[in-house]
């Protein structure tokens, strides 16, 4: 049992986490066995590289921490066994991990969440999970930026290559002629 001081410490800790988070997803983990929860924690840890967090807390602590913040919008999700998945970076990657886990573990249920200060439903979390991650978007952007330069280099190289082939053909024809 937590003491009052420990609860107050958790409340202030989570107020800070809520303020820093780019997204918060709330889930019901009722019915999951310990290996499945450990598997989820490992996936979140590996995919997040320190930007994702998965915690199970008492609903009263969560409600108190959410009071007066944008997270208060989803306080109705804080009932029953509640787990929070928090992203301090890319919200799409965390949504992908959670929805993929929910597909393989039917008892794991997403209740809702907050994305950039706006409440989202479980269906919207599924839609968010279909979007490209931040790293995928960066890769596409680099490709788009790099493509015109590569094309320009090929175009600049082509005329000089053609000129060299014409000169070589002329040299060969002059040699054959005499």
The three-point CA angle 117-124-116 to 5° equals 15
Specify the pLDDT at position 99.
92
Give the percent of the chain with pLDDT over 90.
4
pLDDT digit string, tens, across residues 138-160 = 888 888 787 777 776 776 676 77
Task: Outline where 27-133 has alpha helix (H).
Answer: 34-48, 59-66, 91-104, 122-129
Q: What is the pTM of this model?
A: 0.73
β-pairing verdict for 52-56 and 23-28:
unpaired
CB-count burial class (<10 Å; 0-12, 13-18, 19+) for 133: middle
Specify the pLDDT at position 139.
85
Which regions in the chain score pLDDT beneath 50? none
Specify the pLDDT at position 155.
65
């Amino acid at each position: 049992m937590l003491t009052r001081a420990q609860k107050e410490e958790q409340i202030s800790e989570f107020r800070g986490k809520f303020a820093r988070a780019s997204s918060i997803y709330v889930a019901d983990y009722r019915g999951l066995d310990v290996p499945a929860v450990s598997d989820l924690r490992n996936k979140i840890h590996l995919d997040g590289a320190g930007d994702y967090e998965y915690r199970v807390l008492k609903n009263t602590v969560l409600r108190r921490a959410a009071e007066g913040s944008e997270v208060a919008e989803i306080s109705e999700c804080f009932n029953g066994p509640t787990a929070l998945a928090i992203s301090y970076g890319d919200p799409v990657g965390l949504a992908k991990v959670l929805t993929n886990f929910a597909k393989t573990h039917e008892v794991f249920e997403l209740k809702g969440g907050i994305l950039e200060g706006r409440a989202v439903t479980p269906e919207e979390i599924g839609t968010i999970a279909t979007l490209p991650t931040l790293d995928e978007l960066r890769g596409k952007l680099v490709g788009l930026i790099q493509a015109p330069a590569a094309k320009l280099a090929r175009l600049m190289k082509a005329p000089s290559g053609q000129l060299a082939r014409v000169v070589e053909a002329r040299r060969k024809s002059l040699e054959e002629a005499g």
